[in-house]
Amino acid sequence: MLIGQAIWWACIALEGLLLVRGFQGRLLARYPVFYAYLFFVCSQSLLRFSVYHSRPQLYGKIYWITEWMGILIGCGVVFEIYRVGLSAYPGTARLARNLLAFVFVLAFAKAVIETGNNPQWWSTATTMDLELALRVVQALALVALVVLFLFYSIPFGRNLRGMLQGYALFIGESIVWLAFVSWGGEKFRAFWSHIHPGFYFVVLSVWAVHLWSYVPNPQPRGVVRFEEQYERIAAATNRRLQEVRGYLARAVRP
């Protein structure tokens, strides 16, 4: 118990250190969503700790409200990782943002519909199932970006690599917890309550190492093939749209 408390307070201290270094190194302006997420998580931990000891009857409600707020901001972190990683490829970045937005909207719509149709929408089990679905979407988005970079041999900058590795570890741990907690019982909950603080400390350590100072992404030596492919597809699509508009204009002309 004392070790867990020590790790918890060490995580709070490390979050504060990351925020201070982000301000000193002017990383906040370059990665605003990531540092907003970090500030939220730090504030969330302190708020939960305060409510747990002062108003324990409200802890469950506060926990899930802050948990869902964290998921929403976490989606913003995924968008920021894509923005930073594809900054040299504006066409592909625009396509990726649109696809991500579409997938996240579908996931949230599915969550809202399933919640509304379930008379036990307020239950912890249902809430965890919905959170698991959204965490999986975030994980798949990160995997897709890594595959894209590896396939086209695009180098990762130090800051980007740190954000990606740390958040991927956090998402992976969350998925394992949410996937097994429903059948693991109290023993699994007790076991994971000891694992989680140490795991999160590792995540924060990864961020601290890679985000101690600003390191820009390496500039591409040339236009990557997928950017050329995007431009060709976009140009062909524009031509088809112009042809369709011309056809419709002739069809409605008296």
Tokens for 101?
A: 């937005």
pLDDT in tens, 72-94: 899 899 999 988 888 877 777 77
pTM here? Answer: 0.80
pLDDT in tens, 147-171: 888 877 778 889 999 999 999 999 9
Separation of alpha carbons 229 and 200, rounded Å: 40
Where residue 130 falls among pLDDT bands split at 50, 70, 90? confident
Give the residue numbers spanning the domain of 251. Answer: 223-254
Residue predicted with more confidence, 156 or 242: 156
Q: Indicate if 69 and 130 belong to the same structural domain.
A: yes
On the question of pLDDT at 18 being above 90, the answer is yes
Tokens for 93?
A: 């970045």
Reference 77, options 159, 167, 143; nearest CA is 167
Reference 218, options 145, 157, 152, 153; nearest CA is 157
Q: Indicate if 132 and 61 belong to the same structural domain.
A: yes
**Which position has the token pair 């239950």?**
123
Widest Cα–Cα separation across the chain: 83
Where residue 229 falls among pLDDT bands split at 50, 70, 90? low
What is the number of domains present in the chain?
Answer: 2
Q: Indicate if 171 and 234 belong to the same structural domain.
A: no
On the question of pLDDT at 121 being above 50, the answer is no
Distances (CA, A) of 109 to 36, 86, 92, 106, 112: 25, 27, 25, 5, 5
